[in-house]
Structure 1
Amino acid sequence: LGRLGHEVTIFESLHSPGGVLVYGIPEFRLPKSVVHGEIDCAAECLGIKVHPDAVIGRLYTIDELLGEQGFDAIFLGTGAGLPSFLRVPGINYNGVLSANEFLTRVNLMKGYLFPEYDTPVKVGKKVAVIGAGNVAMDSARCSLRLQQLNAQQTGEKPGEGFSFGEVHIVYRRSRVEVPARAEEFHHAEEEGIIFDFLTNPVEIYGDESGTVCGMRCIRMELGEPDESGRRRPIPIEGSEFDMDVDMVVVALGTSPNPLVFEDAGGLERTKWGTVVADEEAGRTTKPRVWAGGDVVTGAATVISAMGAGKRAAADIDRFLQGETDPWAEEA
C-alpha cells in the first residue's frame, strides 16, 4: 500500500514491530537484523508510521479507527497469539510456560545473546515441550541451545557422562502424525532433541516453592481417525509413569486474541475465533475491513500470511481508487 502511494499507519501491540518474525522465530532461523532492516526501509523509504505498544481493542476499537480516527480502510494482520493450554493439575506452577511466552522472552529479551544480554527465562536442565508442531520444534531447539550457553557461562566442562541438559518433545500421537514440517523435525532430531511419542501429560508436579519438579504421563495408543483425519490417541490403562523435568513448555497451538474484535459489530468469525474473510481478496463481512494471515487461517506460515497481505493490499487499493466497492455490490 505504501508503494502504491497510500498513507499507511501500523498499530503494533508490542514495543517492537515485526510480529512473529521478531518474537516467535528464533535468531538461528531468521536473524533479527534482516527483519529490522526491512522494517526500517519501509518506514524510511515509504513513510509508513508505526505506533508501538498500541493494543487494538484497548487503545482504539476497529469502529473508532474507521470513525473518529479517520481511517479509510483497515487490514487486520493480528495473527493468532493466544496460546492453548493443558487442562491438567499443576499447570500454574513456576516453570510452566506457553511456547508463545517462552519464545517471546527469548527473542525480545535477547536470550539468544546470553550472557551479553540477560533474560528472565531460566531454562531447566530437563525440559519437556508438549506438542510436535513447528513452534514446538523451535521451542525445543531454543531450550537446548540455551542450556549449552548456560553451561559455557558457568564454566562446565564436557566429560564422561556430562550433559548440558535434556530436552524432550512429548507428543500424544506417533512419529507419522507429527504436524511439524519434515525439515523442522529433522533439524530437531539432528540437534539431539529426545522424542517421546504416544505419551500424554496427566499432571505436573511442583515442590514446596511452587516450582516444577516432575511430570506424570500416560502411554497412548492410536484408534480410529478423528475429525482432523488423524488417528485418535487413546490412553492405555495402567501405563502411567513419571518424568523427571524441571521446566515445561506448552506448544499446543494458538488462536486469535478476541480483544482485537471488541465492539467490532458486523465482523463475522468462525467457531475457532478466526475472522471470516474472502480467500482471494481478504475482504471481511465488515465494510472497509480486510484481514489475512493467521487471524484468518489459524496458525500457518509466514509466507502464507505475506501472500494474503499482498492480495489484500491490491484489493484495498482498488477500493480506495473507487474502482470497486464489494460491500455495496453485495447489498
Structure 2
Amino acid sequence: MTNITDYLKEERSAAWREELRKAKKNKERTDLTRVKMPEAPARERARSYVEVNSGLTPEQAINEASRCIDCANPTCISGCPVGINIPKFIKNIERGEFLDAARTLKETNALPAVCGRVCPQEKQCEASCFYQVKMNREPVAIGYLERFAADFEQSGGEISIPEVAAANGTKVAVVGSGPAGLAFAGDMAKFGYDVHILEALHEIGGVLKYGIPEFRLPNGVVDVEIESLRKMGVQFETNFIVGKTATIQELREEGFKGFFVGSGAGLPRFMNIPGENLVGILSSNEYLTRVNLMGASTQGMDTPVMRGKNVVVIGGGNTAMDSVRTALRLGADKATIIYRRSLEEMPARVEEVKHAQEEGVEFLTLNNPVEYIGDDKGRVKQIRVQKMELGEPDQSGRRSPVPVEGSEYIIDADTVVVSVGVSPNPLIPQSLPDLKVSRWGTLVVDEETFQTSIPDVFAGGDIVRGGATVILAMGDGRKAAASMHQYLQGQ
C-alpha cells in the first residue's frame, strides 16, 4: 500500500490488523526516528502541478504516532495557535482510530487538511515538543499526522461535521473568506449564529486559493473543508465587496449584529527603484492569482500571464518560493531568487527552500536589485544587482543587510516577480471613518478580544498583522469568535 486511497480499497479489517501488527512490533524499538515524508521526484514535479508531498501511509502514520510519549504537560498544545488537543488526536492514530483523530482535530481546527500542509509546525507545535525541547531530538511529526488524519477522512468519504448549537437567530457577517474568516465562521456556527461570509472574489478560500499553488495545497482539499462549513450552516456569497456592494451600515440595516473583518493584506508592495514600471515586472500577488485562481497555467484558458524563460523573483518568504517554483512549472528555463539576507535568515519554511533547491532554483543571497533595465520596447531585460553584507541587528533581531560599495553587477531577466511584502487593502478603513488604523494601514484591535474601535466590528489575520501564517490568522479568527459571542450575549 502506498497511500490512503489504496488502503481503503483493501479489505479494511485485514489491512487494519496488519498495520497494527507492524506498528506494535515497531513500537517495541527504542530508536524510532522521525518519519520522512514521501515526495514526488524533483525532476518530475518541477514541470507539473502534482502535489510535492505525497502523504504518509497508514503504517508510517501509526509508527510515527507511537513516538508520542503523551506528556503529562503537553507543551505542544500551547504551541498551537488554534489549541488542537494534539496528544489526543495522535493517540487515536496510534490505535488505528483514524476517523476519531480527524474528529478531534475538527473540535478546534476548521481546516485540518490545509494546516497539515501549510502550517509552519516546525516553529510552533513541533518546536514545543518534548523531544525537541528536552532531548534535542527530532520532534514528533505533528503536521504530517494532522494531514494524514484529515486526508484519511476525506479519501474515505466519511467526513464528520462538528456539532452546532441550536440557531439563536442572530446574523453575523464575515468580510473575506481566507483562513481567519473561515476559522471565525466555523466557531460562530458552533455557537448557533447565522453566519454569512462575504467574499470579493469569485471563489471562496482567500489566500488558500489565490496565493498558494496546487503543488503545495490542492484546491480540492480546500473545497472539501469549505463544504464542511457549508454543512454547518455557514452561507457564502461571492463577488461581494463590502464598502462597495454594500456598506457596513447597510448590512446593519439588514439585521447583521456583528462583523468580522478578515480581508487580508492583498495590496502588493514594490521597492521604488528605477525601471519598476517596465513591462515584465509584476507583484507576486498578481502572478500567483492569475495562475492559482484564474487558471492561467491551464491550456485553453484566456487568462494572460508572463511566461518568461529567465524569471527572477525578489524576496525570501514562502510567497517568493511559491512564485519561483510556479515559474518553473510555467516553462522557465532558469528561475532565480534574489534575497538581500543570507540563506539561514530566509523567512520561508525550510521545507519550501529545500524543495526549490531540489527543483533547480538558483539562489542569489546577500544580493539586492537596485535598478531594472529595459529594451527599446520597454520590456525588462536586465537587473542591476548590488551585493550586500550583514551589519548590526535590526529591531527584529536579524542582522541588517548593508550594501557593499562598488559591488554592482548586471544579470539577465525577461520576467521579474516582486515578493517583498504586502499591505492591507484600504477599502474597509475608507468606508468606516471611525475605524482606528495604524500607520501601516492595519486595523487596530484589542490584543485580547480582537475588537476594533467600533464595538460591533472585530478583525484578525493579515488585516491586523500585516502579514502572517495561515494558522496565526486562524487563531485570530477563533479568539475573535469567542469575544464576539460574549459581546453579543451581553457579557
Q: Same fold (TM over 0.5)?
A: yes
Match of 1:52 in 2: 238
User: Which amino acid counterpart does residue 276 of structure 2 have in structure 1?
Assistant: I
Deviation at 1:4, TM superposition (A): 2.2
- Alignment deviations for residues 61-111 of structure 1 (CA, whole Å, 9 cap, x no partner): 334433x33310000111111111021111111111100111100101223
Match of 1:12 in 2: 199
Distance 1:56 1:92 in 2: 30
Question: 3-state DSSP class of the match of 1:47?
Answer: coil
Cα RMSD over matched residues?
Answer: 1.7
**Mapping of residues 1-331 of structure 1, within 5 Å:** 1-43=188-230, 45-66=231-252, 68-112=253-297, 114-115=298-299, 117=301, 119-147=303-331, 165-322=333-490, 324=491
- Alignment deviations for residues 193-245 of structure 1 (CA, whole Å, 9 cap, x no partner): 10001111111122222221111111112222222322222222221111110
Distance 2:222 2:309 in 1: 31
Question: 3-state DSSP class of the match of 1:168?
Answer: strand
Deviation at 1:118, TM superposition (A): 5.2
Does the CA contact (< 8 Å) of 1:61 and 1:261 recur in 2?
no
Aligned residues: 304
Deviation at 1:169, TM superposition (A): 0.5
Give percent identity, aligned residues only: 53
Does the CA contact (< 8 Å) of 1:61 and 1:260 recur in 2?
no
Distance 1:79 1:166 in 2: 32
Distance 1:183 1:132 in 2: 13
Question: 3-state DSSP class of the match of 1:176?
Answer: helix
**Structure 2 unaligned regions, length at least 5:** 1-187
Distance 1:62 1:255 in 2: 22
Does the CA contact (< 8 Å) of 1:109 and 1:119 recur in 2?
yes
Question: 3-state DSSP class of the match of 2:407?
Answer: coil
Higher helix share: 2
Deviates more, 1:285-294 or 1:312-321: 312-321
Match of 2:8 in 1: none
Question: 3-state DSSP class of the match of 1:8?
Answer: strand
Please give the TM-score of this superposition, normalised by the length of structure 2: 0.59
Distance 1:246 1:271 in 2: 35
Distance 1:32 1:280 in 2: 33
- Alignment deviations for residues 135-180 of structure 1 (CA, whole Å, 9 cap, x no partner): 1011111111221xxxxxxxxxxxxxxxx51111001112222111
Distance 1:118 1:36 in 2: 23
Distance 1:122 1:83 in 2: 17
User: Which amino acid counterpart does residue 110 of structure 1 have in structure 2?
Assistant: G
Match of 2:106 in 1: none
Does the CA contact (< 8 Å) of 2:429 and 2:437 recur in 1?
no
- Alignment deviations for residues 252-271 of structure 1 (CA, whole Å, 9 cap, x no partner): 01111111212423322222
User: Which amino acid counterpart does residue 59 of structure 1 have in structure 2?
Assistant: T
Deviates more, 1:270-279 or 1:97-106: 270-279
Does the CA contact (< 8 Å) of 1:57 and 1:261 recur in 2?
no
Distance 1:130 1:319 in 2: 44
Higher relative contact order (CA 8 A, sep 6+): 1
Distance 2:395 2:437 in 1: 20
Distance 2:239 2:210 in 1: 14
Distance 2:223 2:255 in 1: 29
Q: Which has the larger radius of gyration?
A: 2
Question: 3-state DSSP class of the match of 1:128?
Answer: strand
Deviation at 1:186, TM superposition (A): 1.6
User: Which amino acid counterpart does residue 204 of structure 1 have in structure 2?
Assistant: Y
Does the CA contact (< 8 Å) of 1:126 and 1:245 recur in 2?
yes
Distance 1:91 1:127 in 2: 15
